[in-house]
Amino acid sequence: MIYTTGTIAISGNTLTGTGTNFTAAGSLIRNGCTVIALTSPAQVFQITAIGGATSLTVTPAASPAIPAGTKYSILLSDSLSVDGLAQDIAETFTMYQRYMSGFADVMNGATDVTITINGVAVTVPGQKSLAKKGANNDITSLSGLTTALSVGQGGTGAKTAADARTNLGLGSAATADVQTGSSDTTSGRALTVGAFGLGDILTAGPGISTMGAATPSGFYGSYGDGYGELGIADNLTTLVINRGNRPTRIHQSYTNRRTWFSYYSGSAWTYHEAYTTGNTTKASDGTLKAASPVARIVTSQEQNQRTDVAEDGFSWCGCGTANEEAEGVHVSRIDVGVYTLTGSAGLASSGWQLLPPMDPGGMGELGIVEAEDGDNGVLTIRLFKRKYILSDDGEMVKTKGAPIDVPLNSWIDVRLDMPEDSIWKTKVSAASMDNPDSQPE
C-alpha cells in the first residue's frame, strides 16, 4: 500500500506537501514509514515526525534539496513487524474513535456540528435542534402534517378556519368585510373611521333642506342651511336616524346652542325646538320660561338670600345677574323699588318681557312690576306692593301700592333685546365668519 496524494518538496529534514493530508484518519501514515522522492536519481527518507496535513520531518537530510512539485510515494506496509502492526491497529482505532466522537456530537448537539470525515470537514445540524416528527411524516415541507401546531408553537392549534379563529380569540368581526368607503351602506360590513360621520371631524354634508327619506343614518355638518327651516344662520350638526323612509333628525346649533327635532312625513319635514337650559330660564318661583337675553334684579348682591339667582349660566352685574346672551348689561338700585338697567336695546320685542318677584313657596306674585324705556338706552324698572280696591262694579281690582324693594328671597326677571355690538352677538358673528357659508342669502 502506498500514499501518493499531492506533491512534495524537501529542504534539509523538512518535507512540505502540496495537496496532501498526512493526518487523514485511516491513512496509516506514521513514524517509521518510508518516503521515496521520485527524482533522478530517486532519494529515500524515513518519517521521524508528523507535523500536520502538509508537514513531515524526515531523515536523512535531503542532498540536494528536492524542489516543489516533486512526485513521491509513502510505503504504508513496508514494516510488517509487531510494532508496525500495532501502530496500524492504533491508527485504525483512532480513526474510528474520531468518527464515533463526531457522531456523538451530532446526536447530542443543539446547534450545528462540524465533523471531519476522511479529512474533509462537514457541518450538519445537531439532532436536538431538529423538531421531532411525531405523527408528522415530512417535517421538511409539512406536507404530511397531521397534528396542528399549538398557538405557543406559532400555530393556531386547529385544522379549520373557524377553530383557528376561536383559538386565537377572534370574534365574528374577523370575517366581516371592511367598508369600501365612508358612505358604504352594505349590510354586515365593519365600519371605518368617518363612517356616517362617526369618529371623524364633520365636513360639509347634505343640507337639512335637501335630506329626504333615503338619507342614511349618520352625523352630518350643514353650514347655514337652517335659515329657511329654523330661522337661524348658523353651523348645524345633524344626527339622522333612519328607520326606513321615515327618518328622525336632531339638529344642534353651533353658536346659538339650540336644539331641534325634525320628523319626515314622506314628503316634508316637521320641526320642533327642544327647550333646554340653553334657551329657557327659571323664574323666581322655579317655573321655566323661554329665554334669550335675560337679567334678574335683586335688592343687592350682599342682601340677596337666593343662591340660585347666579346659577344656570348667570353672572353678577351690579344689583342683579345676567345670562351669557345679556353679558354687558348693568343693574343699579336708584331708590326704594326703583332700578335702572343699562347696556341693552330695551325690553324684548316679542314674547314675555317682565316677570314680578314670585314666592318660592308657590304663593304667587310678590308685587307689581313695570318698566319704562328712557334716554340713552336706560331701562327703568319699578316694583310696587300689590293693592286691591273695590271697583264701582263691586269687583276686587289689583293695583299698584307703595314702592317696595325686591324681596330678599326672590327676584325680578327682565327679558331683553341686545344691541348688534353686544358681547354675545359679536362672538356669534365672529364664529359665523369662520364659516362664511353659514351666512343667509
pLDDT of residue 134: 60
- What b/e sequence results for 4-27 when a residue is b if at least 16 CB atoms lie within 10 Å of its CB, and e otherwise? eebbbbbeeeebbbeebbbebbeb
Q: How far apart are CA 260 and CA 230, in angstroms?
A: 8
Q: How far apart are CA 332 and CA 319, in angstroms?
A: 5
pLDDT of residue 143: 64
pLDDT of residue 350: 86
What is the phi-psi region of residue 113: left when phi exceeds 0, alpha when psi lies from -120 to 50, beta otherwise?
Answer: beta
pLDDT of residue 172: 79
User: Which of 416, 201, 379 is CA-nearest to residue 291?
Assistant: 416
pLDDT of residue 419: 93
Q: Is-contact 20 35, C-beta < 8 A?
A: no
| Residue located via cell numbers 342651511 | 225
Q: How far apart are CA 326 and CA 134, in angstroms?
A: 85
User: Which of 59, 64, 16, 14 is CA-nearest to residue 41?
Assistant: 64
User: Which of 273, 299, 311, 260 is CA-nearest to residue 410?
Assistant: 299
Mark the ranges of the chain whose per-residue pLDDT is less than 50.
436-441
Residues 6+ apart with CB under 8 A from 5: 19, 20, 21
Q: How far apart are CA 431 and CA 412, in angstroms?
A: 32
Phi, psi dihedral angles at 411 (to 5 degrees): -155, 165
How far apart, in Å, are the Cα atoms of 249 and each of 166, 207, 212, 218, 273?
40, 12, 11, 10, 12
Q: How many CA atoms lie within 13 A of 157 on its CB side?
A: 9
Q: How far apart are CA 70 and CA 9, in angstroms?
A: 6
Q: Give this prediction's pTM.
A: 0.51
pLDDT of residue 440: 37
User: Angle CA(81)–CA(82)–CA(83) in degrees, nearest 5?
Assistant: 90
pLDDT of residue 184: 77
Residues 6+ apart with CB under 8 A from 219: 196, 197, 198, 202, 237, 238, 239, 240
Residue 335: Cβ-neighbour burial (10 angstroms; 0-12, 13-18, 19+): exposed
